[in-house]
Amino acid sequence: MRALVKTAPGPGLELTDVPIPEPGPSEVLIKVRLTGICGTDLHIDSWDRWAAATLTTPRIVGHEFCGDVVAVGEAVTEVSVGDFVSGEGHLVCGRCRNCMAGRRHLCANTRGIGVQVDGCFAEYLVMPAMNVWVHRIPVAPEVAAIFDPFGNAVHTALSFPCLGEDVLVTGAGPIGIMAAMVVRHAGARHVVVSDLSAERLELAGRLGATLTIDPRDTPIPQAAEQLGMKEGFDIGLEMSGAPVALRDMVDSMAHGGRIAMLGLPGEEISLDFSSVVLRMLTLKGIYGREMFETWYAMSVLVQAGLDISGVITHRFDHTDYEEAFATARGGHCGKIVMSWE
- Residue 269, beta-bridge partner list: none
> Closest CB to Zn ion among 107 and 328?
107
Active-site annotation holder among 40, 110, 170, 212: 40
130 in contact with Zn ion (CB under 5 A): no
Indicate the DSSP class of residue 161. -
264 known ligand binder? yes
> Closest CB to ligand NAD among 41 and 166?
41
Q: Return the one option of ligand NAD, Zn ion, none that residue 269 interacts with (CB less than 5 to 8 A, by type).
A: none
The answer to whether 40 is a known catalytic residue is: yes
CA-closest candidate to residue 233, choices 217, 265, 210, 216: 210
Indicate the DSSP class of residue 71. E
In angstroms, give the least distance from the CB of 64 to Zn ion. Answer: 23
In angstroms, give the least distance from the CB of 107 to Zn ion. Answer: 3
Q: ∠ CA 209-211-216 to the nearest 5 degrees?
A: 120
48: buried, middle or exposed (CB in 10 Å: 19+, 13-18, 0-12)?
A: middle
Q: Return the one option of Zn ion, ligand NAD, none that residue 92 interacts with (CB less than 5 to 8 A, by type).
A: Zn ion
**What type of residue is 105?**
H
Active-site annotation holder among 43, 135, 155, 190: 43
Angle at which helices 321-330 and 39-46 cross, to 10°: 110
Cβ count within 10 A of residue 46: 13
> Closest CB to Zn ion among 6 and 105?
105
Find all residues with CB under 8 Å of 228, minimum gap 6, and list them: none
122 in contact with Zn ion (CB under 5 A): no
Report whether 188 contacts 211 (CB < 8 A): no
Q: Residues 77 to 116: which contact Zn ion by CB under 5 A?
A: 92-93, 96, 99, 107, 109
Helix (H, G, I), strand (E, B) or coil at 174: helix
First to last CA, the chain: 12
107 known ligand binder? yes
Report whether 197 contacts 215 (CB < 8 A): no
Q: Return the one option of Zn ion, ligand NAD, none that residue 213 interacts with (CB less than 5 to 8 A, by type).
A: none
Cis ω for the linkage preceding 160 (within 30 of 0): no
d(CA 93, CA 226) in angstroms, rounded, equals: 49
Q: By the criterion CB under 6 A, which residues form the site for ligand NAD?
A: 39, 152, 170-176, 194-197, 200, 215, 239-242, 244-245, 262-264, 286-288
The answer to whether 57 is a known catalytic residue is: no
How many chain residues touch Zn ion (CB under 5 A)? Answer: 6
In angstroms, give the least distance from the CB of 282 to ligand NAD. Answer: 17
In angstroms, give the least distance from the CB of 293 to ligand NAD. Answer: 15
Cis ω for the linkage preceding 58 (within 30 of 0): yes
CA-closest candidate to residue 182, choices 211, 156, 202: 156
d(CA 269, CA 288) in angstroms, rounded, equals: 21
Q: Return the one option of Zn ion, ligand NAD, none that residue 96 interacts with (CB less than 5 to 8 A, by type).
A: Zn ion
187 known ligand binder? no
> Closest CB to Zn ion among 20 and 96?
96
Q: Return the one option of ligand NAD, Zn ion, none that residue 99 interacts with (CB less than 5 to 8 A, by type).
A: Zn ion
124 known ligand binder? no
What are the residue numbers of the active site? 40, 43
Residues comprising the binding site for NAD(+)? 175, 195, 200, 262-264, 286-287
Residues comprising the binding site for Zn(2+)? 38, 63-64, 93, 96, 99, 107
Which residues of the chain form contacts with Zn ion (CB under 5 A)?
92-93, 96, 99, 107, 109
Residues comprising the binding site? 38, 63-64, 93, 96, 99, 107, 175, 195, 200, 262-264, 286-287
